[in-house]
Amino acid sequence: MQLHLCTWQEVERYLETSSGIIFPIGSTEQHGPTGLIGTDAICAEVVAKGVGESTGAIVGPTINVGMALHHAAFPGSMSLRPSTLIQVIQDYLVGLSRSGFRRFFFINGHGGNVATLKAAFSETYARLADLQIPGADQVHCKVNNWYMNRDVYQLAKELYGDREGSHATPSEVAVTQFVYPEAIKDAPLSAEVASGFPIYGAADFRRHYPDGRMGSDPSLATPEHGQQLYEKAVDAIATDYQKFLAAD
């Protein structure tokens, strides 16, 4: 059930039985020579839709552009500054809290979003209290990184071992191949790939990771893997969402 495909009266009825909403959050950033710039958003969105179907939850609009300032030295990468993203999340959550939503569950496709999201949750709880919105002290927010769920993570390790890496990974590329088989890319990948450098600023990042990959070999990805990973992710996250809803 996608918020975008509901009427406001359907939302009103939904709120009689559930106060939960799921937001896919991704990023728009380079993913190496063969990874799609929208990889993180595509993965988060498809998994969120799956979880929405499986649980009956409303799925809000995808946050396509996240916190990816460290990728800014590669053309086509986009980012919100953390302080902007904090404002965006606040605007989303304050408004929907007034509608009656109380459980905000973010399915996340990009590690770089996590810190800012958590900061945003803290700031939002305080702002909701400031605004004296009735029930605001019941608001809970959670972020679930789809690729970190145990079953997903284990499957990726089984399929790719160390060549999974940590950015432009074969597992995320595989999910995008499953969703957009028509957009599977063919580009030369050097056998050697940089890894192990911490992430600092954008120029520093590109200096250390010249083709954008971080220790990964995305050539291992297949659409079939993508489907398997997708299914594991939907199952694991649907369970997590239900627990999140149920908790006091």
Binding to its own copies in span 77-116, by CB under 8 A: 77-84, 86-88, 91-92, 95-96, 98-100, 112, 114-116
Question: Given candidates 67, 229, 233, 237, which one binds its own copies under the rule CB under 8 A?
Answer: 67
Compute the C-alpha angle 89/95/100, nearest 5°: 120
Q: Between residues 99 and 190, which has the closer beta carbon with respect to its own copies?
A: 99
Which CB sits closer to its own copies, 51 or 59? 59
Determine if 52 is a binding residue for its own copies (CB under 8 A): no
Rule CB under 8 A: say whether 194 interacts with its own copies.
no
Residue 201 sits in the site that holds its own copies (CB under 8 A): yes
- The pair of structure tokens assigned to 137 is 């002290």
Distance, CA of 78 to CA of 73 (rounded, Å): 10
**Site membership for its own copies, residue 204 (CB under 8 A):** yes
Backbone φ and ψ of 134, nearest 5°: -60, 130
Of 198, 103, 196, 111, the residue nearest 153 (C-alpha)? 111
Q: Using an 8 Å Cβ cutoff, are 14 and 57 in contact? A: no
What residues numbered 113-152 form the site for its own copies, per CB under 8 A? 114-123, 125-126, 128-132, 136-142
Give the nearer residue to its own copies in terms of CB position, either 212 or 232. 212
Q: Which two tokens stand for residue 94?
A: 């304050």
Residue closest to 155 by CA, chosen among 174, 178, 144, 171: 171
Contact pick of 20, 22, 25, 30 for its own copies (by CB under 8 A): 30
Q: Decide: helix, strand or coil at residue 88.
A: helix
Please state, in angstroms and rounded to a whole number, the distance separating the CA atoms of residues 86 and 80: 9
Smaller CB distance to its own copies: residue 138 or 190? 138
Does residue 223 bind its own copies (CB under 8 A)?
no
The smaller minimum CB distance to its own copies, of residues 120 and 152, is found at 120
Residue among 20, 38, 50, 52 that touches its own copies (CB under 8 A): 38
- In whole angstroms, give the CA distance from residue 89 to residue 78: 17
